Amino acid sequence: MSDQERLAGYVEVWWQAVDALTSLLEKLPEEAWSTPTDLAGWDVRAVVAHVAHLEKVLATGVEEHAEIGEPPHVTSMMGLYTEIGPANRRTATPDELIIEIREAATARHTALLADPPTDGSAKPERVFGGVPWSWETLLRNRPLDVWMHEQDVRRAVGRPGGMDSPAAQHTADYLLESMGFVLAKRVGAPAGTTLLVEVEGSTAAAFTVNDQGRGERLPTPPEQADATLRMDRETFVVLAGGRRPDAAATVAVEGDEALAQQVLEQMATTP
């Protein structure tokens, strides 16, 4: 598969994720927009405003600014940046937020179809917050971000769904790749340690720590990994996404239980 074909695939999955999110939002009563989500300090409105902010920046190339102060739930510079969208849209109505997302995403989608990126390693002209991402990283992350926030909304308002969509598959498989990093760097497991992660709907993924102390994915699972974790897709997503650490209680564990517990405690790789 060429870079252009792979990047076009990410664009299509992101486009479907945007439609799924906005279609869900259209069904919510206005009072649901003030429901707290799993993201500290954010209700449904803040989550949607954040998505609108990023899509608007990517569509226009114009950065926004806002007085954020020092929210207690913010722990990083990128966290401060993500507060800009909610801060600037506190008085926006639900319809205005939905329209903003759809208009920005439509403009962006049209531009990407008219002039598709062909080199995944090249730098796009527009990236929010000045992050040094390539086309590959930017376009691969957008379906993940939009779908994760769709799920934040769904859990908040009690409307489960969307777990079998292309964006759901994309996100789960993408997050699975981080488990080698978790094993080697977050947990600090010694060289030769093996981990098998089985997530419903995804191909089982095995990892080890190499002699340089880095996590790497094994081409085939070992006959018996040091630790094995089995869970459904939603459980994996809320753990890897740092949403609900207590979901670890539902994970089936085999092998080294102490190692498995360390991995579960360190799984969150995306806010």
Q: What is the pLDDT along the chain (271 residues), one digit of tens a residue?
A: 899 999 999 999 999 999 999 999 999 999 999 999 999 999 999 999 999 999 999 999 999 999 888 888 888 888 899 999 999 999 999 999 999 999 999 999 999 999 999 999 999 998 999 899 999 999 999 999 999 999 999 999 999 999 999 999 999 999 999 999 999 999 999 999 999 999 999 999 999 999 999 999 999 999 999 999 999 999 999 999 999 999 999 999 999 999 999 999 999 988 6
250: number of Cβ within 10 Å: 11
Residue 71's alpha-carbon distances to 34, 53, 166, 198, in angstroms, are 18, 18, 35, 37
Give the domains, in start order, of the chain with CATH numbers.
3-160 (1.20.120.450), 177-265 (3.30.1050.10)
What's the angle, vertex CA 42, arms to CA 51 and CA 55, rounded to 5? Answer: 5
Q: What is the pLDDT of residue 271?
A: 67
> Which residues contact residue 199 at a Cβ distance below 8 angstroms, ignoring those fewer than 6 apart?
172, 176, 205, 231, 232, 233, 236
Q: Which of 48, 17, 10 is nearest to 163 (CA)?
A: 17
Residue 103 confidence (pLDDT): 98
**How far is Cα of residue 106 from the mean position of the Cα atoms in its chain?**
21
CA atoms of 102 and 265, how far apart (whole Å): 37
Measure the CA–CA gap between 213 and 186, rounded to whole angstroms: 11
Asked if residues 98 and 25 have their Cβ atoms less than 8 Å apart, the reply is: yes
> Which amino acid belongs to residue 14?
W
pLDDT single digits (tens) 172-182:
999 999 999 99
CA 257, CA 102: separation in Å to the nearest integer? 46
Sequence length of the chain is 271
Question: Which residues neighbour 150 within 8 Å (Cβ) at sequence distance 6 or greater?
Answer: 17, 20, 21, 24, 162, 167
